[in-house]
Amino acid sequence: MAATVQIHEMTAAGAGVDKTSGTLRFKSADDQTVDSSNRIQIPGAGSVYSYTKHIRFYFSTGPSVDIQNLRCYSDGGNGLGTGVGLQYDIPGGGLGTFPNIATNIAGTDIFTKTAGNPPTSVDMDAINTGPHTSTGYKGDHVRMQMSVSSAATQGLTPSETITCAYDET
């Protein structure tokens, strides 16, 4: 049967929380709870950064043959509001080697990554290459971080969607 594929927010090197049906809340605390606590305070000057969040593909049931071409992308337009950004990188070692931090990861603006094959989109199996079989965590971690500059306005940001795609044989 077709694989059951999820996107997890990682909590440890080999563990995470299913966010396929949920929301990533960027905040000033290292947790996966979606609430209004630990809000990011707008700085008087410069920028501040949320704790990083790692996402990764998880197969709760494996494919009959294999899955490959893991990638993710944005809609290409930053709708989070003035002074708010979302950057990413692909840390080779994942969360076990790169714990979540609230300092600037100097990543790539995720809104430069749009629908299409990599490098137009983010390649999520460049390091942990496919084809992927069986169950468990597959492909690469995408580490994301929200930046908030002094130009931001207070309040809840509009939502943005990251699309994760895969090809199942």
Partner 1 sequence: MQLAELYQWEIETVDGTVRQQYVDDGTEYRWQDIPAGEIIRASIVNRVTHVRHDCMFNRDMGEQFVRRFGRGFIRVVSGGDQEEHGIAEYTHCIVTTNYRLYVLSTTGQSIIAHKYFELYL
Residue among 71 and 91 whose Cβ is closer to partner 1: 71
- At 36, list the tokens: 């209004």
Helix (H) or strand (E) holding 54: strand 53-61
Quote the CA–CA distance of 75 and 93 in Å, as a whole number.
27
Give the HSE-up count for residue 154: Cα atoms under 13 Å, Cβ half-sphere. Answer: 6
Q: Do 158 and 77 form a contact (C-beta atoms < 8 A)?
A: no
- One of 10, 16, 19, 56 touching partner 1 (CB under 8 A): 19
Binding of residue 109 to partner 1 (CB under 8 A):
no
Question: In this chain, which stretch among 41-49, 89-97, 123-131, 156-164 interacts with partner 1, using CB under 8 A?
Answer: 156-164
Q: How far is the CB of 47 from partner 1 (least distance, A)?
A: 16
Binding of residue 7 to partner 1 (CB under 8 A):
yes
Binding of residue 144 to partner 1 (CB under 8 A):
yes
Binding of residue 73 to partner 1 (CB under 8 A):
yes
| 111-147 burial code (b ≥16 CB/10 A, e <16) | bebeeeebeebbbbbeebebebbeeebbbbbbbbbbb
Site for partner 1 in 79-108 (CB under 8 A): 80, 84, 86
Which positions lie near partner 1, rule CB under 8 A?
Answer: 1-7, 19-26, 55, 64-65, 72-73, 80, 84, 86, 115-117, 121, 144, 146, 156-169
